[in-house]
Amino acid sequence: MKFPSPVSLQWIADLIGAKLTGNTAASATGINEIHRVEPGDLVFVDHPKYYEKCINSAASFIIINKETSFPPEKALLITDQPFEAYQTIVKHFRPFVPSTNMISESAVIGEGSWIAPGTFIGNHVTIGTNCRIHPNVTIMDHCVIGNNVIIQSGTIIGSDAFYYNTKKDRDVWYKKMESGGRVVIEDDVELGAGCTIDRGVSHDTRIGRGTKMDNQVHIGHDSIIGPNCLFAAQVGVAGAVEIGSGVILWGQVGVSKTLTIGDNAVVLAQSGVPGNLEGGKIYLGTPTDDAMLKKKELIWIKRIPEIWEKLKSK
């Protein structure tokens, strides 16, 4: 999540009640979760297991619960509860504002776009030109829709990220992480009926230009889907996934979190993707493998009873 303008670290330290050390004269340009941090960003960490990863990430400033070594050009904001500090910052810059109209007065809708009855458009939404938004679509706050986009009935864009801070030493194990990100739908995208596109927890969930999705496709928080992809019905993509251009996911493919699928990969129906996939290949199965190898494997599996009977008879 980018701030409207750079914010001094001292001001942020005062907001969250943190001790500031290091490059104290610097200003932050945004706040992000570790998977999407950029130079100028704040990131938070509250477990020693992840200290080094956060401190050596692209983030310039780290909200942390212990003083430790760090590069001289960076800064630490030390507080007992880094997660709560993150929540405070997001709530300040992206507060919840109740909507009172089906189409917010702050929404911007381009020329030639048709919005069907029953559609909800939240605060500060931008919709481009010549779009077709069918009945009962929901577009939540701050989302961006490009030009020539078609969204079928019942699709929800910008619902909160499924993302929780987990600690087993408290009464409530899973604490919701405030979603400060957006969904950005680029030009010429088509979304089927009943799709759900979660907003980024701190960054943008992005659907690339010309991508087409069938009904009941789910895209998790902070995922980046490249241009000209084709997703069949009931595909599910978890959070912080990066999918290249021209990728095809056939029906009921499931993609695990924080992985990468290369350009022009094809994953056949009902496959499960647990790790990175190289582009330009066809995949099948759970876990996915080269489709031809997987088909040969299935043939041999079918022959196991026959082979077993032959072995018993010897």
Together in a domain, 190 and 279: yes
Together in a domain, 131 and 277: yes
Tell me whether residue 101 is in a domain.
Answer: no
The pTM assigned to this predicted structure is 0.92
In the prediction, which pLDDT does 102 show? 97
Question: pLDDT per residue over 101-130, tens digit each?
Answer: 999 999 999 999 999 999 999 999 999 999
Together in a domain, 252 and 159: yes
Average pLDDT, rounded, for the chain: 95
Hunting for tokens 């001292």 — which residue is that? 10
Question: pLDDT per residue over 267-281, tens digit each?
Answer: 999 999 999 999 999
Where in the sequence is the domain holding 205, given as residue range(s)? 108-294
**Is residue 60 predicted with pLDDT exceeding 80?**
yes
**Is residue 18 predicted with pLDDT exceeding 90?**
yes
The torsion angles phi and psi of 84, rounded to 5 degrees, stand at: -65, -35
Q: How confident is the model at residue 251 (pLDDT cuts 50, 70, 90)?
A: very high
Tell me whether residue 117 is in a domain.
Answer: yes
Together in a domain, 42 and 115: no
Q: How confident is the model at residue 28 (pLDDT cuts 50, 70, 90)?
A: very high
Handedness of CA 179, 262, 38, 69 (dihedral sign): positive
In the prediction, which pLDDT does 303 show? 87
Q: Could you tell me which residues come within 8 angstroms of residue 53 by beta carbon, excluding any fewer than 6 positions away?
A: 34, 45
Please count the structural domains in the chain. 2
**Any catalytic annotation for residue 203?**
no
The residue annotated as part of the active site, out of 35, 142, 218, 221, is 221
Together in a domain, 144 and 218: yes
Percent of the chain with pLDDT over 90: 87
Question: pLDDT per residue over 189-234, tens digit each?
Answer: 999 999 999 999 989 999 999 999 999 999 999 999 999 999 999 9
Tell me whether residue 310 is in a domain.
Answer: no
Together in a domain, 31 and 160: no
Q: Could you tell me which residues come within 8 angstroms of residue 283 by beta carbon, excluding any fewer than 6 positions away?
A: 265, 266, 267, 268, 271, 273, 277, 289, 290, 291, 294
Q: Three-state DSSP class for 53?
A: helix
CATH number at residue 32: 3.40.1390.10
Distance from chain centroid for Cα 21 = 31
Question: pLDDT per residue over 151-179, tens digit each?
Answer: 999 999 999 999 998 888 889 999 999 99
